[in-house]
């Protein structure tokens, strides 16, 4: 069965570490001696308390979080966060800054505007089809927060460093690069990440929130739309997405056991992306779509000379067991998503394929 697995370059849901999947599979009918599947145990049991606290502790350990931060698990993905953030933090007289670096940032802006919240797009790379990350960003000193999308899955760009926002907290959608590198946590008021790229299955969103920032939130919200509810109830006000949280814990444990620290994780990711960009850069056949300084280490986007060749590239790759290389339906082209779990073996298989495809078709 394992032998038939493909090299999975999907943008999300994405490849998970094989050892994690094998662990889930092995215990699927009987979790931790409970006589029940992880999908059947009560979230009010000591079994699940251990699961959720373990996942939180590992997240805190990897990001070196102290007790000024809460780690929460929320449903609804990053898309619900787009709405919850302005709902929680923008009162009538308040405003936030947004940096627009692509499709997901645009959607975050839209969800604030639907609620008639006051926001300002303080920087944007829309002028060049979102192919770069804006620099020298000037934020409003009285903004409630500055919202960024740290990695842009569709356009293949990533903030290499984070903007200096002074005392204004950064709020970041890190759905596609959380736990891929260490973070200067002192800059952030809130980080959120849908699990399905770097963390686990879809359906669980991790939210890391600074407690003093959280305490400034609107208090008159429906329970499930208030961060305080999750913080007060250890993310178990209602039944949490147990299977997702369990998998996230296993993935974080895998990072700890395999790489030790996020510095090492980042080194591995730089190395993997380096192989791919090297193949692209030494060729006239492949063209990277993101500007060099803004390139993502998670999503490598590139074009071939023609759309026909791109189609053939994706199809031929799949025949060789390399899946998920089609670019996002909104932009076309090709994309290799190489999150934490992408193996060096997969990277070698891809660069070999790219080299031979170029030879045959250039």
- The number of C-alpha atoms within 13 Å of 283 and in the hemisphere containing its C-beta is 23
11 near a copy of itself, rule: CB under 8 A: yes
Stretch that binds a copy of itself, among 2-10, 63-71, 270-278, 352-360 (CB under 8 A): 2-10
Instruction: Give the count of beta carbons closer than 10 Å to the beta carbon of residue 270.
Output: 12
Question: According to CB under 8 A, which residues from 199 to 258 bind a copy of itself?
Answer: 200-204, 220-225, 237-244, 247
Closer to a copy of itself by CB, 36 or 185: give it.
Answer: 36
Cβ at position 29, least distance to a copy of itself in Å: 5
46 near a copy of itself, rule: CB under 8 A: no
Cβ at position 223, least distance to a copy of itself in Å: 6
Closer to a copy of itself by CB, 202 or 258: give it.
Answer: 202
Nearest partner of 167 among 99, 97, 113, judged by Cα: 97
Question: Angle at Cα 75 formed by Cα 196 and Cα 242, nearest 5°?
Answer: 80
Closer to a copy of itself by CB, 110 or 257: give it.
Answer: 110
329 near a copy of itself, rule: CB under 8 A: yes
Cβ at position 124, least distance to a copy of itself in Å: 21
**Distances in Å between the alpha carbon of 157 and those of 133, 138, 228, 337?**
7, 20, 33, 12
Cβ at position 233, least distance to a copy of itself in Å: 11
Nearest partner of 242 among 11, 25, 42, judged by Cα: 42
Helix (H) or strand (E) holding 256: helix 242-258
Contact criterion met (CB below 8 Å) for 139 and 152: no
Verify whether residue 254 is a known catalytic residue. Answer: no
Question: According to CB under 8 A, which residues from 54 to 83 bind a copy of itself?
Answer: 75-80, 82-83
Q: Which of 197, 254, 272, 326 is catalytic?
A: 197
**Residues in contact with a copy of itself, shown as a per-residue x/- string from 106 to 135 under the rule CB under 8 A:** ----xx--xx--------------------
Joined together, the tokens standing for residue 327 give: 């670019």
Cβ at position 285, least distance to a copy of itself in Å: 26
Question: According to CB under 8 A, which residues from 144 to 203 bind a copy of itself?
Answer: 194, 196, 200-203
Q: Residues 38, 8, 173, 233: what is their CA dihedral angle, to the nearest 10 degrees?
A: 0
Instruction: Give the count of beta carbons closer than 10 Å to the beta carbon of residue 284.
Output: 8
Verify whether residue 197 is a known catalytic residue. Answer: yes
Joined together, the tokens standing for residue 13 give: 């849901």
Helix (H) or strand (E) holding 293: none
Closer to a copy of itself by CB, 41 or 146: give it.
Answer: 41
14 near a copy of itself, rule: CB under 8 A: yes
Helix (H) or strand (E) holding 95: strand 95-100
Verify whether residue 272 is a known catalytic residue. Answer: no
**Chain-centre distance for alpha carbon 24:** 22
Q: Which residues are catalytic?
A: 104, 173, 197
């Amino acid at each position: 069965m394992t032998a038939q697995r493909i090299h999975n370059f999907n943008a999300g849901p994405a490849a998970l570490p094989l050892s994690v999947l094998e662990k889930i599979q092995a215990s699927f009918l009987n979790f931790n001696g409970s006589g029940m599947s992880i999908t059947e145990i009560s979230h009010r049991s000591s079994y699940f308390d251990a699961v959720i606290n373990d996942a939180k502790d590992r997240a805190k350990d990897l990001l070196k979080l102290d007790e000024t931060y809460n780690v929460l698990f929320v449903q609804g993905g990053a898309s619900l966060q787009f709405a919850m953030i302005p709902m929680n933090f923008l009162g009538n007289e308040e405003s936030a800054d947004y940096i627009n670096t692509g499709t997901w940032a645009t959607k975050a802006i839209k969800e604030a505007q639907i609620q008639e919240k006051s926001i300002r797009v303080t920087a944007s790379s829309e002028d060049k089809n979102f192919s770069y990350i804006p620099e020298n960003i000037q934020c409003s000193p009285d903004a409630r927060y500055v919202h960024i999308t740290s990695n842009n899955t569709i356009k293949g760009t990533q903030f290499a460093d984070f903007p200096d926002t002074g005392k204004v907290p950064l709020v970041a959608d890190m759905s596609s690069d959380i736990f891929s590198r260490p973070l200067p946590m002192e800059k952030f008021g809130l980080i959120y990440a849908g699990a399905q790229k770097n963390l686990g299955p879809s359906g669980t969103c991790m939210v890391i929130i600074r407690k003093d920032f959280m305490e400034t939130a609107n208090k008159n919200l429906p329970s499930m739309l208030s961060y305080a509810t999750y913080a007060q109830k250890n993310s178990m006000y209602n039944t949490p997405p147990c299977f997702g949280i369990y998998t996230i814990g296993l993935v974080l444990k895998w990072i700890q056991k395999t790489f030790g620290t996020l510095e090492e994780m980042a080194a591995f990711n730089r190395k993997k992306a380096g192989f791919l960009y090297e193949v692209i850069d030494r060729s006239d056949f492949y063209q990277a779509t993101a500007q060099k300084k803004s390139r993502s280490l998670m999503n490598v986007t590139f074009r071939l000379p023609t759309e026909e060749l791109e189609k053939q590239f994706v199809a031929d790759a799949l025949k060789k067991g390399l899946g998920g290389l089609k670019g996002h339906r909104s932009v076309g082209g090709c994309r290799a998503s190489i999150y934490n779990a992408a193996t060096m073996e997969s990277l070698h298989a891809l660069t070999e394929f790219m080299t031979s495809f170029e030879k045959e078709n250039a």
